[in-house]
Amino acid sequence: MSDTPASPPRDPGLTPDPDVELTVILTHSPGGPEHVFALVSRSGQVVESTLPDPAAAIAAVGRFGERIFFPEPGPPKLCTQQYGGPQVAVVTGTFNGRAVNSRFSLTDGCEIARWRALSPLLGGVAGSTGAI
C-alpha cells in the first residue's frame, strides 16, 4: 500500500495545456464594426493575445474547446427558444493542430450555452456561468 494520494480523476473534456492559434472576429450587430482578437498559446502558456483575460480564455478553450470546436455527431438537440442578442463571433485558426472554423451566435439556448462556455474568448454574456 502506498502513502501517495491518488490523483484526482481527469475531466474527460479537459485538454490540458492546449496549443492554440485563434483569431476571433466579433460583431455586436449586423453590419456593425468588426472587433478582431488573437490568442496564441504553446503548451497552455500565452505567447500572444489581444484579449482582456488571456489566461481565462486558455482555460476555457482547454476545458471546452474539443467539444465545441469538434462536436461528435449525435441525436438532434432540443434547444430553448430564447434570444440572447445579435452578437456573432467567428473563430478561426488551430486547436492542438486541428483547423478551427466555428461560428457562434446567441440565437437559441444551445447557442447561448456554447457562447457562455467560451465567454473569456468571445466576450461575456449577461448571466454567464460558463456551464454547458
Residue-range domain boundaries for the chain: 20-72+79-122
C-alpha span between 57 and 119 (Å, rounded)? 8
Residue 90 pairs with which residues in a beta bridge?
Answer: 25, 103
pLDDT tens, position by position, 36-92: 999 999 998 999 999 999 999 999 999 999 999 999 998 988 899 999 999 999 999
- The count of other CB atoms within 10 Å of the CB of residue 13 is 14
Q: Give me the mean pLDDT over the 111-120 stretch.
A: 94
* Per CATH, domain 20-72+79-122 is 1.10.10.10: no
130 band by pLDDT with thresholds 50, 70 and 90: very low
**Does the global pTM surpass 0.85?**
no
Question: Residue written as cell 478553450?
Answer: 61
Q: Give me the mean pLDDT over the 4-24 stretch.
A: 65
Q: Give me the mean pLDDT over the 89-115 stretch.
A: 96
C-alpha cell at 42: 504553446
pLDDT at 3 over 90: no
Q: What is the structure's pLDDT at 44? A: 86
Terminal C-alpha separation, the chain: 39
Comparison of pLDDT for 85 and 14, the residue scoring more: 85
Instruction: Give the residue among 123, 130, 121 at the shortest CA–CA distance from 23.
Output: 121
Q: What is the structure's pLDDT at 1? A: 45
Q: What is the structure's pLDDT at 124? A: 72
Calculate the average pLDDT of the chain: 85
Comparison of pLDDT for 103 and 16, the residue scoring more: 103
